[in-house]
């Protein structure tokens, strides 16, 4: 016959169970997770200075062979900082803190650090995107100011198993498709999609000689969408009439394009484009002045507000992520083109009715 447990025995068992549970909870809290945290990153004034490779402070925008003008205030480009990686994953404790912080986002690690892509490869790609962004911004700004900026589509890489393998080569310059002249990527892509898998004739310049190659695009289906690809990486090469250098180390990706373009225009024109205000923003841009979507918009909103911005240019395509997440003290201006941003800056600079500036609304989503 067993004896009933005494009160002391029950207390001891309860404390032991509680201790085990606490140890398990603490251990779980600090275990690695398959997520990373996105938070507001540094903000850079395109009208200000930056550090060069030697650590010396120089103008972020440097322009030679053209008259430049003094500027005031700020045209801030915003960034996102990623906490965590495959080598150094964040803990559940860090994740819990980020989940309750409206300025941060928790995203799957795969979306930032894809399997099979090394950190070096990722950084190299982001650096290339930044360089492309600077070229596109310069082209958009100079064209806005009435300058002629010729462009050529160049082949950077030919995929080994792609449709152009053995047909196109790196450094080829594509000038026509099916007899129609092309000088921007969107026009080339549109013609390829219109062919719907039928062979297209590409006129290219190789080693200063013009020739025609016939490529049959390959079909790719993803998320219910069919895309036709010729299996190459392309880049627009511009001939700039003015030497523009954008100095920004340790920042990658294409999202600074819009603010670069605005900064260049401000430096090249008399007066203060921003009226001396602190204006921030984000968005890709192409040489035609079209503004495209970016990642981390909510983190950039908070980064801009914390840096003192009053106005923020947000790509129209990001409006769904903006609505309901604008920090107090910041006015968002919906932007689809460089002209949109310039029109808004004119209102801001002249002290106009900023309440009428286009913004992201639930209907705009």
pLDDT, tens only, 190-202: 999 999 999 999 9
Q: How confident is the model at residue 24 (pLDDT cuts 50, 70, 90)?
A: very low
Residue 9 has pLDDT above 70, yes or no: no
d(CA 201, CA 215): 6
CB under 8 Å to 346, separation ≥6 — which residues? 352
More confident residue, 283 or 91: 283
Residue 27 has pLDDT above 60, yes or no: no
| Nearest-5° Cα angle at 303, 277 to 283 | 75
d(CA 200, CA 206): 18
Burial class, 70, CB count within 10 angstroms (exposed 0-12 / middle 13-18 / buried 19+): exposed
Query: For the residues 141-147, what does the mean pLDDT come to?
Result: 97
Name all domains of the chain by residue range, CATH numbers in brackets.
39-83+119-145+242-364 (3.30.230), 151-238 (2.30.42.10)
Q: Which of 133, 154, 164, 255 is catalytic?
A: 255
Residue 28 has pLDDT above 70, yes or no: no
Residue 326 has pLDDT above 60, yes or no: yes
- In the Cβ-directed half-sphere of 86, how many Cα atoms lie within 13 Å? 11
Q: Is 198 a catalytic residue?
A: no
Query: What confidence tens digit (pLDDT) does each residue in 164-207 have?
Result: 999 999 999 999 999 999 988 889 999 999 999 999 999 999 99
Q: Which of 133, 300, 334, 365 is catalytic?
A: 300
Average pLDDT, the chain: 90
């Amino acid at each position: 016959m067993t004896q009933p447990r005494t009160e002391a025995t029950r207390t001891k068992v309860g404390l032991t169970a509680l201790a085990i549970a606490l140890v398990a909870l603490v251990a779980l809290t600090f275990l690695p997770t398959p997520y990373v945290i996105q938070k507001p990153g540094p903000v850079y004034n395109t009208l200000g200075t930056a550090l060069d490779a030697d650590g010396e402070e120089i103008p972020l925008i440097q322009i030679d062979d053209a008259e430049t003008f003094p500027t005031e205030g700020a045209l801030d480009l915003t960034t996102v900082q990623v906490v965590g990686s495959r080598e150094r994953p964040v803990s559940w404790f860090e994740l819990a803190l980020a989940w309750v912080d409206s300025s941060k986002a928790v995203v799957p690690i795969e979306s930032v650090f894809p399997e099979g892509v090394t950190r070096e490869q990722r950084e190299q790609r982001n650096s290339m995107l930044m360089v492309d962004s600077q070229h596109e911004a310069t082209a958009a700004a100079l064209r806005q100011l009435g300058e002629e900026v010729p462009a050529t589509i160049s082949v950077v890489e030919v995929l080994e198993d792609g449709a152009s393998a053995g047909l196109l080569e790196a450094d080829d310059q594509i000038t026509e498709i099916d007899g129609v002249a092309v000088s921007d990527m969107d026009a080339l892509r549109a013609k390829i999609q219109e062919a719907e898998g039928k062979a297209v004739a590409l006129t290219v310049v190789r080693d200063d000689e013009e020739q025609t190659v016939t490529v049959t695009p390959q079909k790719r289906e993803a998320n219910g969408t069919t895309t036709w690809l010729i299996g190459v990486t392309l880049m627009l090469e511009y001939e700039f009439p003015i030497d523009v250098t954008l100095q920004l180390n340790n920042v990658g990706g294409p999202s600074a394009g819009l603010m670069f373009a605005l900064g260049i225009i401000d430096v090249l024109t008399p007066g203060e484009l921003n009226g001396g205000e602190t204006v921030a923003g984000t968005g890709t841009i192409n040489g035609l002045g079209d503004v495209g979507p970016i990642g981390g918009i909510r983190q950039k909103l908070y980064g801009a507000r914390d840096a003192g911005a009053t106005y923020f240019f947000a790509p129209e395509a990001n409006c769904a992520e903006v609505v309901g997440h604008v920090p107090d003290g910041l006015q968002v201006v919906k932007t689809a083109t460089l002209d949109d941003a310039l029109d808004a800056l004119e209102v801001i600079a002249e002290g106009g009715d900023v309440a009428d500036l286009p913004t992201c609304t639930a209907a705009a989503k």
